Amino acid sequence: MLSKYNVITLFPNLFDEWIKTGIISNGLDKNILKFQTTNLRDFGIGNYKQTDDAPYGGGPGMVMMVEPLDNAILNNKADINVFLTPSGSKLDEKSIKDLLAYESINIICGRYEGFDQRIIDMHSDYEVSIGDAVVSGGEVPAMFLMEALMRRVPGVLGNSESLVNESFTDGTYDFPVYTRPETYKEMTVPEVLLSGNHKEIDNWKNNKLKDI
Ligand SMILES: C[S@@+](CC[C@H](N)C(=O)[O-])C[C@H]1O[C@@H](n2cnc3c(N)ncnc32)[C@H](O)[C@@H]1O
């Protein structure tokens, strides 16, 4: 089960608050999960710790250099190296299950115009996209990927029943949910949910599961 996470990034500080929040901190406190960041800047070249350079062939923006990434990965060996790229395989239930089978993972975050292709050719076991939209860096996609993975590691979620019927896990989207008050601005909670009749409630919930 995937319990050891290392994120290679130019912006490790972005993860400082994230790891203190919700189920992730729960998994870390209970020692079910291990999380660390590797600051790519530590592997930068020369006095300026350079990690990016202009693209061959011209064009806008900068490209992440191969050497700092190569050294960062070689210094942090993991079972699988996952690169975040817009052109990667879209994250889905199958890829989450496949990744969970490993024990340790390196998640490599791009910035600027992306990675020198040679680092992907050398070290990528899998490329993940979080959807058909480009964001400025791999850090938010990395959090997205890790939350999808970490919540599936046994013991991390407070109530493991939350995973039952969860959207995508069984070919359906979850049923709608309600909480107090019973009436808000004349909108009421479906009566069956207040009935106390568990059989009817289960039937209602099953009928409300939407096919994907
Ligand atoms: C500005 S993007 C690079 C976009 C690239 N020039 C392109 O058009 O495909 C910088 C980095 O953000 C990350 N990124 C952006 N969108 C992503 C997505 N949808 N899924 C995964 N990673 C993404 C990748 O690590 C990427 O290298």
**Residues 12-48: tens digit of each pLDDT:** 999 999 999 888 899 999 999 999 999 999 999 999 9
H-run or E-run covering 205: helix 198-208
pLDDT for 165: 74
- Atom number of ligand 1 nearest to Cα 137: 12
Instruction: Dig out the tokens for 98 from the structure.
Output: 């496949």
3-state class (DSSP) for residue 52:
strand
3-state class (DSSP) for residue 136:
coil
For the segment 50-54, the average pLDDT, to the nearest whole number, is 98
Domains present along the chain, CATH in parentheses: 4-150 (3.40.1280.10), 166-211 (1.10.1270.20)
Residues with CB under 6 A from ligand 1: 84-86, 109-111, 113-115, 129-131, 133-138, 141
Q: Which of 122, 123, 133, 119 is nearest to 90 (CA)?
A: 133
pTM of the model: 0.95
Report the residue among 134, 143, 145, 146 best suited for mutation to probe ligand 1: largest number of ligand atoms under 8 A from its CB. 134
pLDDT for 135: 98
Residue nearest to atom 6 of ligand 1 (CA): 113
Dump strand ranges (E) for 17-138.
34-39, 52-53, 63-64, 80-90, 104-108, 126-129
Structural contact between residues 147 and 35, judged by C-beta atoms closer than 8 angstroms: no
